[in-house]
Amino acid sequence: MEQFKHHVSQHRDGTYSLGISIDQGYMTPEDFTTLSDLAKKYGVTTLMATTAKKISFMDVKEENVNPLWEDLEQAFGSRLCFPKGKVIVCPGSRFCKFATPGRDNHAIGREVERISKAHDAGKVKVGVSCCPLGCAMPRVRDLGILATARGWMLTIGGNGGAKPGVGEVIAQDLTEEELLALLDKVYQYFQENKNGKERTIRTVERLGIDHLKAAILK
Ligand code: SF4
């Protein structure tokens, strides 16, 4: 079997899906043309827009996975992300009339990807919304980030899976700098204290939100 340069999922027919993110899902028409050209070049018949604003090449042959990834890197450079953090960012500060003035959730999303990449905290899904309406589903993601008129709110332990749960507020009314510093601590904490592949909701259940808050905020 090939050594892949990143995670892919194998399908029943032996092909693989390769999911990528370009600028958190906000792309130009030219980007779509490039993606289409690469899909045709490697015989990919189906592209999927995922719930996490990724594009997934759905039926990539094993021998084409790495060449396709290399072409994607060549075409998109630093705009290309294979997001282990799985960050969803709502249209917010770039497009939405409801976005909280003065808050840039796209900049926060990019910073979260950077912080995520700097740690090995396992699967941490993040939603970054620019108002409390929460279109990026922050309260049911491992980490939820919401802009309010008073500042940023951070929640932890949301999950939309088999045993769903709503994230607990860990801090609010934060400046951007305070939020990013806290996120760094949260990723560091999970890197050091995660229990195998445990998701944040299970960590909250195991340790209790008060213990977790005290440990992270100290
Ligand atoms: S969360 Fe708020 S700012 Fe973001 S898209 Fe929804 S309504 Fe707009």
Assign residue 65 a region (left: φ > 0; alpha: ψ between -120 and 50; beta: otherwise).
alpha
Same-domain pairing of 75 and 92: no
- Domain range for 120 is 87-217
Domain total in the chain: 2
Give residue 100 CA to ligand 1 midpoint distance, Å.
9
Residue 96 CA, closest ligand 1 atom number: 8
Which residues form the pocket of ligand 1, taking CB atoms under 6 Å from any ligand atom? Answer: 90-92, 96, 98-99, 129-131, 133-135
Q: Specify if 2 maps to a domain.
A: no
Q: Specify if 24 maps to a domain.
A: yes
Q: CB of 38 within 8 A of CB of 56?
A: no
Q: Specify if 131 maps to a domain.
A: yes
Same-domain pairing of 135 and 104: yes
Give residue 93 CA to ligand 1 midpoint distance, Å.
8
CATH code, domain carrying 194: 3.30.413.10
Rg (CA), the chain: 18
Same-domain pairing of 179 and 102: yes
pLDDT on residue 189: 93
pLDDT on residue 82: 66
- Given ligand 1 and candidates 105, 129, 145, which is best to mutate, with the most ligand atoms within 8 Å of its CB? 129
Same-domain pairing of 51 and 128: no
Same-domain pairing of 47 and 130: no
Q: Which of 56, 81, 106 is the last residue of a domain?
A: 81
Sign of CA dihedral 87, 90, 91, 93: negative
Give residue 132 CA to ligand 1 midpoint distance, Å.
8
Give residue 105 CA to ligand 1 midpoint distance, Å.
10
Bridge-based pairing state of the strands 143-148 and 126-129:
parallel
What phi, psi does 22 have (nearest 5°)? -120, 120
CA distance linking residue 86 with residue 125, whole number of Å: 5
Same-domain pairing of 53 and 147: no
Residue type, 16: Y
CATH code, domain carrying 53: 3.90.480.10
Q: Determine whether 162 is exposed, middle or buried from the number of CB atoms within 10 Å of its CB (0-12, 13-18, 19+).
A: exposed
Q: CB of 132 within 8 A of CB of 151?
A: no
**Global pTM value:** 0.86
CA distance linking residue 96 with residue 75, whole number of Å: 29
pLDDT on residue 138: 97
Q: Which helix (H) or strand (E) element contains residue 141?
A: none
Q: Specify if 95 maps to a domain.
A: yes
Structure tokens at 153: 């709110």
Q: Which of 62, 81, 100 is the last residue of a domain?
A: 81
Q: Note down pLDDT in tens along the chain; length 218 residues.
A: 567 777 788 888 999 999 998 988 899 999 999 999 999 999 999 999 988 888 999 999 999 999 999 999 999 998 887 655 588 999 999 999 999 999 999 999 999 989 998 998 988 999 999 999 999 999 999 999 999 999 999 999 999 988 899 999 999 999 999 999 999 999 999 999 888 889 999 999 999 999 999 999 88
